[in-house]
C-alpha cells in the first residue's frame, strides 16, 4: 500500500478564501493526499462572506484533520510529524509578517515555521495590493528563510472564461509548487476561444 502525503493548508483572513477552498478540494481528490487544515477566525468570517455559509462545513468535511488555530500543541506543530509541505491561501499580511519574523502565536503560523525549520516547502499566496515597503520587506524576509511567495495572480494568457477557472488555475499552480510526487494538479489548457 502506498504512503499518503500529508499537506497542511492554512487559510487566513485575507480576501480570496475561494482559493483556499479550491486547493483543499483539489488535494482531497487525490487518495494519496491527507489534508491537515488550519482556518483562522478571520478566515471563517471571510469564507462565509465571500463563498457562502456552506464553505466552512465543506472544508472541514474534505480535510483529513481539522486543527483549531489555538491548539499550538497539535501534531502539525512538531517537526517530527510527517507532512510534506504547506500552503497558506490566502495569506494575509498579518500572517506573512508573523511567519517572516517568527511571531508564533497560533497554530497556522507555528505550522508554517515548522515547515521552514524542517526545510519543507511553504507556499504563501500573499493577498494584498498595493504594497508598501513594510509588506515588501516581510516578503523578502520570508523568501530569505525559505518560503515561496506566490501572489494569487490570474494567468490571463490562458484566456479564462470565468472566475471559477481563474480560482482553479491559481489553486493548481499553488499545489504544483509543493513539487510532491503523486500530487500534481492538472495543467490548465482552457482557452476562451470558442
What pLDDT is stored for residue 194 in this prediction?
Answer: 45
Q: What is the pTM of this model?
A: 0.94
pLDDT band at 188 (very low <50, low <70, confident <90, very high): low
Give me the percent of the chain exceeding a pLDDT of 90: 90
What pLDDT is stored for residue 1 in this prediction?
Answer: 40
What pLDDT is stored for residue 190 in this prediction?
Answer: 57
Is a pLDDT exceeding 90 seen at residue 33?
yes
Query: What's the average model confidence in pLDDT over 43-59?
Result: 97
**Where in the chain are the domains?**
5-177
Phi, psi of 134 (to 5 degrees): -60, -40
Sequence-distant (≥ 6) Cβ neighbours of residue 142 within 8 angstroms: 96, 99, 100, 124, 149
Instruction: Name the CATH superfamily housing domain 5-177.
Output: Flavin prenyltransferase-like (3.40.50.1950)
* 127, 90 Cβ separation under 8 angstroms: yes
Query: Going edge to edge, which strands form the sheet with 121-126?
Result: 65-67, 33-39, 5-11, 85-91, 121-126, 148-149
pLDDT band at 148 (very low <50, low <70, confident <90, very high): very high
Here the cell at position 171 is: 489553486
Is a pLDDT exceeding 80 seen at residue 186?
no
Amino acid at each position: 500500500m502506498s504512503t499518503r502525503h500529508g499537506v497542511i493548508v492554512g487559510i487566513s483572513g485575507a480576501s480570496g478564501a475561494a482559493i483556499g477552498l479550491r486547493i483543499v478540494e483539489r488535494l482531497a481528490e487525490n487518495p494519496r493526499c491527507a489534508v491537515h487544515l488550519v482556518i483562522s477566525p478571520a478566515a471563517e468570517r471571510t469564507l462565509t462572506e465571500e463563498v457562502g455559509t456552506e464553505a466552512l462545513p465543506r472544508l472541514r468535511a474534505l480535510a483529513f484533520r481539522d486543527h483549531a488555530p489555538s491548539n499550538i500543541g497539535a501534531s502539525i506543530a512538531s517537526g517530527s510529524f510527517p507532512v510534506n509541505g504547506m500552503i497558506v491561501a490566502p495569506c494575509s499580511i498579518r500572517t506573512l509578517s508573523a511567519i517572516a519574523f517568527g511571531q508564533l502565536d497560533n497554530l497556522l503560523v507555528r505550522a508554517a515555521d515548522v515547515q521552514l525549520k524542517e526545510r519543507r516547502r511553504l507556499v504563501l499566496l500573499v493577498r494584498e495590493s498595493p504594497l508598501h515597503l513594510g509588506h515588501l520587506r516581510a516578503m523578502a524576509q520570508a523568501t530569505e528563510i525559505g518560503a515561496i511567495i506566490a501572489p494569487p495572480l490570474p494567468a490571463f494568457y490562458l484566456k479564462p472564461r470565468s472566475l471559477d477557472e481563474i480560482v482553479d488555475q491559481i489553486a493548481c499552480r499553488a499545489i504544483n509548487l509543493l513539487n510532491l510526487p503523486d500530487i500534481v494538479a492538472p495543467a490548465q489548457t482552457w482557452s476562451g476561444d470558442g
